[in-house]
Amino acid sequence: MSFPKKVVTTYAKSLFLNIKNSNQLEEKRFFFDAANVSSYLGKAEERKFVPDVYIIGEELIILSSAMVSSTKLKGFFQNPTFSEKQKLEIINTVFPGLTIPLKAFLKVLVERSHLSLIPEISEEYSKIILDIKNYTKVKLTTASILQENYGQLLLDTLKKLTNSKGILLNVAYNPKLLGGLMIQYKSTLIDLSILKEFSLFFNEN
């Protein structure tokens, strides 16, 4: 594991544990509405707003999506000539309704010049949430478009294969496979493509 990867993982785990511990002390709940992220709640409402680990995860996803949505924005946050305070000001201007815990977390990132790591932190944080819910991200690569009636059968099969409660499926198409499919989840790759069969056949001869 490289140094940046360790930093990202540490940030994600620390944020998760802090939010989880805070919620064990305070059992209030507030219905999460993505619109709140881009609107100001007001001081009284903020004090009543005790976000859980899932709400923080949603906020991270929204921030991450905004930061990588265009080449210009991505370049802005990765450009060291702009100060971290300038970058934080942009975030707070676009998303004035961020929760207090996430605002505090962003200040920590500013102090360490790590705001540009938000997309990576969001991805690691999402992995923690998926593990808790026993959901697995699966990438399915096929040679042709899947028929609609395969949907439920495919999901049920993948649940059994990954021993998961739910599946987050990402489907990609690659005609070079000739036929069959490839299944990728966590560190596992199952190649059931015709291309692989051909490769094995020619390697044997």
Task: Convert the pLDDT of each residue in 141-175 to its tens digit.
Answer: 888 877 766 777 888 888 999 898 888 888 888 88
Assess contact for 135 and 166: CB atoms under 8 A.
yes
Alpha-carbon distances of 152 from 31, 44, 186, 192, rounded to whole Å: 30, 46, 22, 20
Q: What pTM does this model have?
A: 0.69
Q: Which of 26-30, 85-89, 129-133, 198-202 has the lowest mean pLDDT?
A: 26-30
Q: What is d(CA 38, CA 110) in angstroms, rounded to the nearest whole number?
A: 20
pLDDT grade, residue 10 (50/70/90)? very high
pLDDT grade, residue 198 (50/70/90)? low
What letter represents residue 159's amino acid?
Answer: K
Answer whether residue 3 shows pLDDT above 80: no
**If DSSP codes are grouped into helix, strand and coil, which group holds residue 79?**
coil
Burial of 49 (0-12, 13-18, 19+ CB in 10 A): buried
- What is the end-to-end Cα distance of the chain in Å, rounded? 39
Q: What is d(CA 20, CA 25) in angstroms, rounded to the nearest whole number?
A: 9
**DSSP single-letter state for residue 145:** P
